[in-house]
């Protein structure tokens, strides 16, 4: 069965690209990053390509913006206004992993956000959570927002290790129809470590 997912996170720096690489391999999927904001010398698509191998196809970004900032700011610096109508899912016969920018409420413009793009693309959501002080608050708010918008939270991805008390509260608020994916801590990013993560991947229905 083909899998199509929009990978978002509870914030910036929670490991969306790493998780996208793992799931791209796991589902034998194509990869698409609709907006690359900054780091054009080594984009997230390049990272995924390096971590997954040459058999993975990365679709070109709709926007490649110079400034490493929120997309609405990066676009404004270049005199561009982003709208969700600019985006269309790439055609592919394979599964597809789509990686967003930052979290759900990252602005694309003054009026549209990443969550509006998810809604427009009509994709199930995979929410990446990493442990840090404040992650419980950000996790529960993100899950609440996804539910309020009527989006399908298909997976919650627990990226790395969590204190027992933190994990318990987060998991207690994950609804039954949402599966949990556990990806082990990756200290260095290599194809070999992605292989190890795949071997130790847990999906709990």
Q: Dump pLDDT digits (tens) for 54-105.
A: 778 999 999 999 999 999 999 999 999 999 999 999 999 999 999 999 999 9
Phi, psi of 183 (to 5 degrees): -115, 125
Q: Say whether 33 is catalytic.
A: yes
Q: Is residue 142 a known part of a binding site? A: no
Q: Tell me: the pLDDT tens digits for 150-198?
A: 999 999 999 999 999 999 999 999 999 999 999 988 877 788 888 888 8
Domains of the chain: 4-204 (3.40.50.300)
The pLDDT value recorded for residue 59 is 97
Active-site residue among 2, 33, 49, 147?
Answer: 33
d(CA 14, CA 185): 12
Q: Is residue 18 a known part of a binding site? A: yes
């Amino acid at each position: 069965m083909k899998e199509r997912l929009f990978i978002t996170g509870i914030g910036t720096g929670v490991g969306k690209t790493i998780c996208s690489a793992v799931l791209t391999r796991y589902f034998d999927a194509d990869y698409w990053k609709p907006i690359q904001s900054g780091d054009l010398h080594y984009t997230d698509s390049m990272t995924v390509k390096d971590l997954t191998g040459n058999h993975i196809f990365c679709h070109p970004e709709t926007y490649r913006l110079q400034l490493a900032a929120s997309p609405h700011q990066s676009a404004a610096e270049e005199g561009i206004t982003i709208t969700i109508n600019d985006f269309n899912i790439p055609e592919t016969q394979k599964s597809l992993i789509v990686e967003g920018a930052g979290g759900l409420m990252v602005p694309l413009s003054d009026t549209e956000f990443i969550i509006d793009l998810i809604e427009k693309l009509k994709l199930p959501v995979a929410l990446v959570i990493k442990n840090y002080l404040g992650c419980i608050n950000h996790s529960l708010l993100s899950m609440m927002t996804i539910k309020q918008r009527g989006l399908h939270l298909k997976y919650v991805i627990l990226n790395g290790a969590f204190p027992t008390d933190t994990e318990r509260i987060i998991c207690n608020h994950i609804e039954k129809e949402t599966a949990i994916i556990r990806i082990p801590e990756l200290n260095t990013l290599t194809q070999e470590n992605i292989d190890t993560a795949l071997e130790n991947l847990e999906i709990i229905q």
